[in-house]
């Protein structure tokens, strides 16, 4: 009977195409659509803040250089991972990550909670030549980050596009994006205070690459690495509540 049915189906090209679309469409629909509608999928974290323009620029450089190919940003709910890297990652922590950078491979360690773990100077030295600080490391050198000036003139457009996909940047944040990027790496400049107003007093404001006068790609990348895992305390609060 089944064979008879299939013999008819395979004589009809359009019918066959429709059957493929129908049969292949079910799985993805059932698994993906509810993730947008079930509220518990993403936890609530009222203290969650957005990336500053400098951190976002750093994140874009992280993407550009393909860092996600070797570093995950997703601590799994396994004892050894929690003890090695910190509280396991919550969905809310990457709520503003367009796209997410959870990664799929750890040639190097997970860096979901890297922020604050090392000094800026360590990161700068490590990015220029990883083997200067970790002799057995196989990580590539990123010397050009220190040589390249950061492109800031289009950061407003970046923030506007982020808002278009759902990140709550305000008009003031978009309007001041370039100045805020400069201010975050120049603590003594007049732009630094506006940044703290818009993104919170806890925002890191310092010369990340050690050179206050110049805004380099290194400033952006280190600013990004230092905020990893620190946009919200939700994961630490949950771990504390669980009695750890």
Partner 1 sequence: MIATLTVAERQSAIALSMLVAFFGLIMMIAGSGDVLGVHGVIVLLFGLGFLGLVMSKYFEPEPPQERLTRYYDDPTKVGIVLSLGWAVVGMFFGVWVAALLAWPDLTLDAGWASFGRIRPVHTSGVIFGFGGNALIATSFHVLQRTTRARLPDQVTPWFVLIGYNLFCVIAASGYLMGVTQSKEYAEPEWYADLWLVVVWVTYFLLYLRTLQRRKEPHIYVANWYYMAFILVVAVLHIVNNLAVPISFGSAKSYSLFSGVQDAMTQWWYGHNAVAFFLTAGFLGMLYYYLPKRAGRPIFSYRLSIISFWGITFMYMWAGSHHLHYTALPQWVQTLGMTFSVVLLVPSWASAGNALATLNGAWDKVRDDATLRFMMVAAVFYGLSTFEGSFMAIRAVNSLSHYTDWTVGHVHAGALGWVAMITFGSLYALVPWMWKVERIYSPKLVEVHFWLALSGTIIYVFAMWNSGIIQGLMWRTYNDSGTLAFSFIESVVAMRPYYIARTVGGSLFLLGAIVAAYNVWMTIRMARLRGVTETGGTDEPVLPGAGAALQPGE
* Chain residues 166-195 in contact with partner 1, contact rule CB under 8 A: 166-167
Task: Pick one of 25, 116, 168, 200: the residue that binds partner 1 (CB under 8 A).
Answer: 25
Can you read off the two tokens belonging to residue 116?
A: 């604050």
Tell which residue, 66, 44, 38, 55, has the closest CA to residue 229.
55
Residue 1 contacts partner 1 per CB under 8 A: no
From 78-86, 113-121, 178-186, 188-196, span contacting partner 1 (CB under 8 A): 78-86
Bridge partners, residue 216, by sequence: 149
Task: Pick one of 1, 3, 4, 46: the residue that binds partner 1 (CB under 8 A).
Answer: 3
Helix (H) or strand (E) holding 160: helix 155-164
Residue nearer to partner 1 on the CB measure, 14 or 241: 14
CB of 124 to partner 1, least distance (A): 16
Which 3 state secondary structure label does DSSP give 149?
Answer: strand
Task: Return all residues near 176 (Cβ < 8 A) that are at least 6 apart.
Answer: 194, 198
Task: Pick one of 4, 39, 77, 241: the residue that binds partner 1 (CB under 8 A).
Answer: 77
Tell which residue, 77, 108, 147, 137, has the closest CA to residue 225.
108
User: For partner 1, how many residues bind (rule: CB under 8 A)?
Assistant: 90
Task: Pick one of 49, 97, 233, 238: the residue that binds partner 1 (CB under 8 A).
Answer: 97
Residue nearer to partner 1 on the CB measure, 89 or 178: 89
Residue nearer to partner 1 on the CB measure, 135 or 190: 135
Main-chain phi, psi angles of 216, to 5 degrees: -110, 170
Residue 11 contacts partner 1 per CB under 8 A: yes
Task: Pick one of 69, 172, 175, 240: the residue that binds partner 1 (CB under 8 A).
Answer: 69
Pattern 111-150, partner 1, x by CB under 8 A: -------------------xx--x-xxxxxxxxx------
CA 127-131-133 angle, 5° bins: 75
Task: Pick one of 50, 55, 87, 89: the residue that binds partner 1 (CB under 8 A).
Answer: 89
User: Is the backbone of residue 167 left (phi > 0), alpha (psi -120 to 50) or beta?
Assistant: beta
Residue pair 115/226 in contact (Cβ under 8 Å)? The answer is: yes
Residue nearer to partner 1 on the CB measure, 98 or 200: 98
* Alpha carbons 156 and 55: distance in angstroms, whole number: 13
Place of tokens 């944040």: 173
Residue 46 contacts partner 1 per CB under 8 A: no
Residue 157 contacts partner 1 per CB under 8 A: yes
Task: Pick one of 162, 203, 204, 216: the residue that binds partner 1 (CB under 8 A).
Answer: 162
Q: How far is CA 234 from the centre of its chain?
A: 16
Residue 44 contacts partner 1 per CB under 8 A: no
Q: What is the DSSP string of 36-69?
A: HH-GGGS---TT--PPPHHHHHHHHHHHHTTGGG
């Amino acid at each position: 009977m089944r064979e008879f049915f299939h013999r008819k189906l395979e004589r009809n090209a359009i019918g066959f195409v429709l059957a493929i679309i129908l049969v292949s469409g079910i799985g993805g629909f059932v698994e993906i659509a509810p993730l947008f509608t079930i509220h518990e999928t993403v936890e609530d974290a009222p203290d969650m803040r957005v990336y500053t323009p400098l951190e976002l620029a750093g994140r874009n450089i992280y993407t550009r250089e393909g860092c996600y190919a070797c570093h995950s940003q997703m601590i799994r709910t396994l004892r050894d991972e929690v003890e090695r890297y910190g509280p396991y990652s919550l969905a809310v922590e990457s709520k503003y990550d367009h796209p997410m950078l959870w990664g799929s491979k750890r040639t190097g360690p997970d860096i979901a909670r890297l922020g604050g773990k090392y000094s800026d100077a360590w990161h700068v030295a490590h990015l220029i030549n990883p083997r200067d600080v970790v002799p057995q490391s196989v990580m590539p050198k990123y010397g050009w980050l220190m040589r390249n000036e950061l492109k800031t003139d289009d950061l407003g457009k970046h923030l506007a596009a982020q808002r278009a996909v759902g990140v709550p940047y305000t008009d003031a944040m978009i309007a001041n994006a370039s100045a805020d990027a400069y201010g975050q790496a120049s603590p003594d400049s007049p732009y630094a205070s506006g940044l703290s107003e818009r993104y919170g007093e806890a925002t890191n404001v310092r010369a990340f690459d050690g050179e206050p006068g110049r805004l380099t790609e290194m400033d952006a990348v280190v600013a990004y690495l230092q905020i990893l895992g620190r946009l919200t305390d939700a994961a630490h609060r949950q771990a504390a509540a669980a009695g750890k």
